[in-house]
Structure 1
């Protein structure tokens, strides 16, 4: 998609639920997922350095036991946060730039978390060479469809796509958000600009 360069849809699963601003300032990333143009996905699991909250585990199925990350009881391969971020930047570089990152609730959570860890590892300047900004599809959906009762992503997917999916898996969330945005909503450039926080 070439409206503003390339739009890459992404999502984070973390040690907290992201329902409080404090979560965004202190939680650790346990999964980073992305999707672009229905062709290529990105997925990394990260072993967190703090416990995963019980409420988060109930939602995303991720637990830690004896230094190993498990998804619904099955061990998953993890990569350090630093190398996951480096790989993510490398993934983003592969698309025609500039890249616009899109997430549902980006401004209040995903963007804050991602920017915090990029700065922590001194990767923000490298990231900024590739990414032009963050688009938040949550307020976008409220503007486009104010008549809806709810605006959480699983509800929107049921409304517009008529399916249930593996919600709260970062890759699946990114893929379904891309499907909503590209094949159902199709917002114009003005809408995209209105709900983009430029870096």
Structure 2
């Protein structure tokens, strides 16, 4: 979150510097003054910094940014029919009084020293539940019947598929070895 705020601050400063640079370039041509090299270098530095933050946020995403300190327990634990996996859902509040709730589902592999993997992350709707369809397939229901376009329900094959509503997990270079297929809205 701090990195995003820092990026917005740098973006704002860079836009202001760009406008000043354009003005100074026009003045330098009209009045035959020297080209504003330092201002150009500073503006280009801001552009490079903003793009670096964007690339980092997009391609180096992990689920480690989930606010686990203020999380609330959701549906689960739900053990698979083979007892190999246990699914737990959690809620993450965001935005204060006017904000909303995200839901994520973590799978614990009971055979691999309780290894945990986040397989689902989305905006929480009114109706949330989980059901194992077989030993490796988990159905996650996340919809609001009053809003037909709000359905975020999906079947996931554990160990092979994940879902991230905004798609950041699908683009992440750090997470590409954790799944074969990534779904997004």
TM-score relative to the length of structure 1: 0.21
Higher RCO structure (Cα 8 Å, ≥6 apart)? 1
Bigger Rg over Cα = 2
TM-score relative to the length of structure 2: 0.22
Structure with a larger share of its residues in strand: 2
